[in-house]
Structure 1
């Protein structure tokens, strides 16, 4: 009987191997046909610059007020008192033994975060940090658009380059505060007098201190147009652009609808889909050397492992692209819920291995004060739901009209090691034929400007130098 049992086990293992092989081949074949179908279909119509009105009611007949108003970040004490009362009334749940961050934000660690938030975090002090730089608002397409404007102090203004930097979700303009001195005061931060930028940091409408749209349809193309109008209003007909996450997609569309204004597009998470994308993935899963360099293999393959990581990290995306308002109620009402939802992304998106740590590795790269300041920007503005609507407006359109356009402006890509998605250099050149710079970063994750400001600043500087050396 023992021999028979062993033989049966061997047969089952052999059959299982055959099933896996057959299924793998089937997936590859289907992927190839899907890729060929999607690629052979008509390309999406290039977006137009267009126009829009996102304010309340009908668009008024009179001209929009184009004045620029300086503002200061100052939240009434009543907001903080309400926050503290909610933190005092918090309801937490039991920890699951040895779960780390694999089930989401660890309840045991959340207790320490809430204790610090309630008893040690000083919002008024963080307001002073936020007000280190000048804040402004201006009306564009019916909305109050907030932005930070940092002008360097230099003897030769002709060397200063305008730079528009745009955040993503669940970040904010505050993501760029650590990199700002490296760009506006480079002599004291590892650069030269030829690396000086005048930086504009806007809040995407519905994020930060920008007013949320009152109309449906405000997507990445609309945001690109609004930010271009902002730069022109500030006197910049030509400027450089940097962004990741939504900031990258906004820059991608900006480079399509107004390429003459974009001196160079730099991204740490480049947008766009190269030709035969699914075919490349299918072929690469079996013969990777045919589609990718050997030293890039572990950033794209094995496909099953990367797909599993992506699925584990992207549940929020499906929710926000379909029913963002439903989840928005709980996150708007509970500061603990909001913190868990946002801060969990700063763990797994920085390095997926941090899911196996009790504290999610949050304090390896960020301070609790910085993390809570970003959360507070969402809390005091009550705009987590409007920020999530950006997915509802943008993703369905991206699925129906793939981002498969060719961007012809000078492009620089900083490919961080643990970014959620990785675009190999030879694939990137098919979308960005004028790829001036491509850097495979040795470390870093999704929140590049906040996590690795020096690395990102150095890459941006060398990209701009290369662009200007060609002029």
Structure 2
């Protein structure tokens, strides 16, 4: 860090400050502050807690069935007929001229998507793709929890696979990981390091897809983290790695704070940080003119500034859904659960502008520049056939409260080895200097060359390589 400080600062201060005074003073002050911050710091953890989310009150009649049961996704003809009938009766409205994606999903392009969904999309074919990996369900805290579990097909003699729990977010699903799974379980056949092989567990968050929705209020990210910890124990894993983005980032971070002794490493492609207060504001102000003084890199500067336009204004444009879902999710959920066209527009809009903000300037939202319509609609179908859009949105209601910045996890740090992949088109950017205020053991921080919010879905090769690099540092392979 101090070499970076010296290198970056030399050109700016060359004519004003004598380096013989600047560097020792900076190193001495920084070292003193670091020692003061670390002195007396002990590894703390969040209480694991307990919960019951099934129907009725928990009793001896409601003990969890601890069996891990095989699960198969089916394409029911009744579901397909109902979908086609609803798509045939879609009521479209006339869009504004040249509105593109600035007002949301473009109504003209929605007609194209709906036509493809109705006449070309083959749900039977996509279900076969979904079932190519083994699916299971098990009952935890009264809920049937769905997950995909993929073991590497081949291991060298004496080689062990690293257990990796990968958690999706909203409006994604376990299907986001289908393109990255073979890269992690069979890396040698895909040009990746054959010495680092993973065993993948991809659960559906309760209330999403094929995981049962909580029947009671209060199911938040902490409850999901606890359930996934119990899932890993049930599968026989006492130690494991974690990976997540979006809600998956929040859930895996909480699990790391609950059970740091079980988490060998935490890898994130989306970082949630407390607001930061006056210190963050000072960092932004100083960083605009002298980034090296506050530990910001050239890449950080490109991602952060102009701050109002690139960050604050973009968040305002993209966060309207969050205010709805964090207050009255069931209202909009009633409409989306009834209309497949509405559901597709609501979900696919996020796969446009969250992938690349500039896609809002395109008539078709740039959707097929990064994804296929088959893949996008398969993700939508997971929400449609399970009727889970309303229950998935309730996770916002349960997590965003007046005390969001004063929850137990904000009072302690994350002590497990952490890797961060910073994708340039992500909704928010968390510089390493900010992230390390919460994540105390960052062993890798990578500025990715391209990609946005749905990293595993969009750039599986980049994410897989970064995961391997992170684990190699933790394992010292």
- Both structures adopt the same fold (TM-score exceeding 0.5): yes
SS of 2:109 mapped into structure 1: helix
* 2:165 alignment partner, SS class: strand
1:295 aligns with 2:302: no
Distance in 2 (alpha carbons) for counterparts of 1:347 and 1:154: 37
Q: Does 1:150 align with 2:150?
A: yes
State the Cα distance separating 1:281 from its structure 2 match.
3.3
Q: Which residue of 2 aligns with 1:64?
A: 64
* CA drift at 1:61: 2.0
Residue 286 of structure 1 and its aligned partner are, at CA, apart by 6.2
Which shifted more, 311-320 or 281-290? 281-290
The 1-side partners of 2:159 and 2:476 are apart by: 16
Q: Measure the CA separation in 2 of the matches of 1:170 and 1:109.
A: 20
CA shift digits 1:20-67 (9 cap, x unpaired): xxxxxxxxxxxxxxxxxxxxxxxxx96310010000000022542100
SS in 1 for 2:70: strand
Superposed CA deviations along residues 317-340 of structure 1, whole A, max 9, x for unmatched, are 111101101110000000000000
**1:462 and 2:469 correspond:** yes
- State the partner residue of 2:414: 407
Give the corresponding residue for 2:109.
109
Work out whether 1:329 is the aligned partner of 2:334.
Answer: yes
Unpaired runs of 5+ residues, structure 1, are 1-44
| Mapped pair 1:170 → 2:158 | no
5 Å-filtered alignment, 1:360-371, equals: 360-371=365-376
1:201 Cα deviation from its structure 2 partner: 0.3
1:205 aligns with 2:206: yes
**How many residue pairs end up in the alignment?**
426
Cα pair 2:256 2:414 within 8 Å, conserved: yes
1:446 aligns with 2:447: no
Give the distance between the partners of 1:321 and 1:370, measured in 2 at CA: 28
1:365-396 CA-partner distances (Å, limit 9, x unpaired): 10000000000000000010000000000121
1:428 aligns with 2:435: yes
* Closer/same/farther in 2, CA of residues 46 and 321 from structure 1, 3 Å limit: farther
Judging changes above 3 Å, is the alpha-carbon distance between structure 1 residues 152 and 336 closer, same or farther for their aligned structure 2 residues? Answer: same
- Residue 391, structure 1, aligned to residue 396, structure 2: yes
Instruction: Give me the whole-angstrom Cα distance separating, in 1, the residues matched to 2:251 and 2:287.
Output: 29
Contact 1:274 1:428 in 2 (8 A): no
Equivalent position of 2:228 in the other structure: 227
- Please state whether the residue corresponding to 1:256 is helix, strand or coil: helix
SS state at 1:47 partner:
coil
Worse overlay, 230-239 or 291-300: 291-300
Inter-partner Cα distance in structure 1 for 2:304 and 2:412: 22
CA positional deviation for 1:426 = 1.4
Tell me the secondary structure at the aligned position of residue 145 of structure 1.
strand
Q: Does the 8 Å contact 2:299/2:447 carry over to 1? A: no
Matched, 1:54 2:53: yes
Deviation at 1:294, TM superposition (A): 2.9
1:95 paired residue number: 95
Q: CA deviation at 1:425?
A: 1.2
Q: Is contact 1:244–1:269 with CA below 8 Å preserved after alignment?
A: yes
Residues 205-214 or 273-282, more deviating: 273-282
Alpha-carbon distance in 1 for matches of 2:69, 2:116: 35
Q: Is the 8 A contact 1:436 1:463 kept in 2?
A: yes
Q: In the aligned structure 1, how far is the partner of 2:405 from the partner of 2:51? A: 22
Moved more, 425-434 or 331-340: 425-434
* Contact 1:252–1:271 (CA under 8 A) maintained in structure 2: no
TM-score (norm 2): 0.87
Distance 1:74 1:335 in 2: 19
Specify the SS of the correspondent of 1:259.
coil
Q: For the structure 1 residues 418 and 178, does the alpha-carbon distance in structure 2 shift closer, same or farther, using more than 3 Å as the test?
A: same
How far 1:204 sits from its partner (Å)?
Answer: 0.2
CA distance in 2 between partners of 1:180 and 1:118 (Å):
29
Give the 3-state SS of the residue equivalent to 2:436 in structure 1: helix
Distance 1:157 1:203 in 2: 32
**Equivalent position to 1:341, from 330, 336, 346:** 346
1:310 offset after TM fit, Å? 0.9
For residues 403 and 329 of structure 1, what CA distance do their matches in structure 2 show?
34
Shift of 1:145: 0.1
Gaps of 5+ in 2: 1-43
Q: What is the Cα deviation at residue 109 of structure 1?
A: 0.6
CA 1:168–1:206 in structure 2 vs 1: closer, same or farther (change >3 Å)?
same
Contact 1:273 1:404 in 2 (8 A): no
Paired residue secondary structure (2:452): coil
Instruction: Tell me the equivalent position of 1:257.
Output: 258
Distance 2:115 2:290 in 1: 52
Q: How does 1:112-191 map onto structure 2 within 5 Å?
A: 112-155=112-155, 156=157, 158-191=159-192
Q: Structure 1, residues 123-177: CA drift from partner, whole Å, max 9, x if none?
A: 0000000000000000000000000000112244642110000000000000000
Change (3 A) 1:404 1:362: farther
TM-score normalised to the size of structure 1? 0.88
Give the secondary-structure state (helix, strand or coil) at the position aligned to 1:374.
helix
The structural deviation recorded for 1:108 is 0.8
Shift of 1:76: 1.4
